[in-house]
Chains A and B, each alone.
Chain A
Amino acid sequence: MKKNIIFFLIFLGGLITFPFVFENPFPRHLVIMILLYATMGIGWNIIGGYTGQISFGNAAFFGVGAYTTAILLTNHGISPWLGMLAGCGFSILLAAVVGYPCFRLRGHYFAIATIAVGEIVGVAFTNWDYVGASVGIYLPILDESLMNFEFHTTKLPYYYIILGMFLFALTVCYAVEKSRLGYYFRAIKDDPDAARSLGINVQRYKMYAFSLSAVLTSICGTFYAQYVLYIHPSSTMDLMMSIHMCIIVLIGGLGQLFGPVVGAIVFVPLTELTRVYLGSAGQGIDLIIYSLLVILMAILRPQGIWGLFSRGSK
């Protein structure tokens, strides 16, 4: 236990000092993307890993977060921070609307339903003129400030904002894991009928898990919108994006606190590096490699990479 805390503090210290060691934008961007994907992975892990409800629609929450922030800022001049809260609200609403019917489905059927929902939201946004349809939204360039959530000369503030979000997500996940909520989630994953027989309202707890997952994914969407300053449906609510979240957790370790972190550390550099070195010619190479990784993991270590480290710790 003590050893774990020390490792975590070293890890955290490394993250905090990283931008001072690497001053080039690219390494900073790389770690920003790792943290972004790790945060999304943590969000996915709560519904997919702990509660065992495989969702291929989580990108919808990312999109809702991004779009809510972007529209409130461009059309109404509302601060992205408030937009982030509004995005969380809409994401919870979406989670409730989707979850209510879909959580009556079990296993694969739930996964299939979430694919449909994710795609429906994507198609809706592609054809909805108010949100820029398929062209998307260019966010207005404002003065650099924390209030405006925009920085043009350096990536440093973005780095610390996403680090904060990541730590927030990690704390939420840790708190869930150590509370009744987390135990109930795992019970639902293991055997929903037995869980019901022990007084767990399975439907309600799945909703809690989905809402938490939605919130954590939604804040990532807000960050993405403010970081890239241009969003469109296929960059924010693509099916591929949901699959990425899932792959990250699968590689890292399903239902493990640090699983998504490890997964993102493996996943993101591969994507970014193939993008940088191979350009559009290399599109898909990263996915070929992940597929191989996922197959290998499934055969050799179903607990994910994190399972390699935590083995025997219990």
Chain B
Amino acid sequence: MSALLVMENVTKKYGGLLANNNLSFAVNQGEIIGLIGPNGAGKTTLFNCIACFCNVDSGRILFNGTDITNKPPEIICRMGIGRTFQIVRIFKEMTVLENIMIGAFLRHARRKDAERKAIEAAEIFGFTERLGLKASSLTISEQKFLEVARVFATGAKLLLLDEIMAGLNIQEVRESVELVLKLRQMGITLILVEHVMEGVMPIADRVVVLDYGEKIAEGSPAEVIKDEKVIQAYFGQKYYAKRREYTT
């Protein structure tokens, strides 16, 4: 199995703050990777580095064997990496269909083709009945799905989804889990930044845990949740110490 995305010693600084420190990991074709960590761990920064909304200070990012470090976002998208935003950025003035069409236009220059492709994508994401609605009239969770649909329509091979399950109820989390699995079946590789553990843990093949910009653990979900560093990062030193007292 060849690696689709390789991060080599990626470092990103904001002034004196190391948002991503010397990160290295690889993502294989067809995998679902969970990227977790406490707030401020550098997950979104990492997405921004891959999709190049900010320039990496050092290190390399390879996609399909090509160096994509610090290439502009539109080129990254053209190469087949799609991302969503933590705070939704749909086109509010446009309808649902038009939003998805913007994505579809990337590989379908003619309007009719783009529209057909967009309607196909809308069906997968359950927007068929709401194509004519203004995007801003959707609920936040629907808007998040619309973002995924929109970026899916660009024909991306790798999707970076930034907290699509945040703020969803249990039913909706279940739906989005199914959706992620459906996308994987279609041959799309996914990296999920997520705080909703019951959403990401059952479906992730591997989990990468960040804390203060560094990778503190990587492995299957079962391994990671037992990892001491991860427990420390999530519950703090104090809780960790207490827990040790009880268990020993």
User: Which residues of A pack against B, CB within 8 Å?
Assistant: 178-180, 183-184, 186-187, 189-191, 193-202, 314
Contacts and interface: CB of A to CB of B under 8 A. Distances in A.
Contacts of B78: 199
B74 A199 contact: yes
Contacts of A197: 51, 53, 73, 77, 82-83, 85, 89, 151
Contacts, number: 72
Interface string B97-126: 010011101100111001000000000000
Interface of B: 51, 53, 72-74, 77-78, 82-83, 85, 89-95, 98, 101-103, 105-106, 109-111, 114, 132, 150-151, 154
Given A196-B73, A198-B150, 20 more contacts: A178-B111, A180-B114, A183-B101, A183-B102, A186-B91, A187-B91, A187-B94, A187-B102, A190-B94, A191-B90, A191-B92, A193-B73, A196-B72, A196-B74, A197-B82, A197-B83, A199-B106, A200-B102, A201-B74, A314-B132
Contacts of B110: 180
B102 A195 contact: yes
B106 A198 contact: yes
A188 B72 CA distance: 16
* Most chain B beta-carbon neighbours within 10 Å: one of A179, A180, A198, A201: A198
Nearest to B110: A180
B89 A179 contact: no
A193 B91 CA distance: 11
Contacts of A190: 91-94
A189 B72 CA distance: 19
A314 B93 CA distance: 12
A91 B14 CA distance: 42
The 7 closest A-B pairs by CB, nearest first: A199-B77, A194-B89, A190-B91, A199-B106, A196-B73, A180-B105, A187-B102
Contact of B95 (A198, A199, A314): A314
A186 B98 CA distance: 10
Contact of A194 (B85, B101, B109): B85
Contacts of A196: 72-74, 77
Contacts of A194: 85, 89-91
Contacts of B114: 180, 183
Nearest to B88: A194
A202 to B, nearest CB: 7
Contact of A193 (B53, B90, B92): B53
Nearest to B114: A180
B102 A198 contact: yes
Contacts of B91: 186-187, 190-191, 194
A165 B102 CA distance: 31
B111 A198 contact: no
A186 B151 contact: no
Contacts of B77: 196-199
Contacts of A201: 74
Contacts of A195: 102
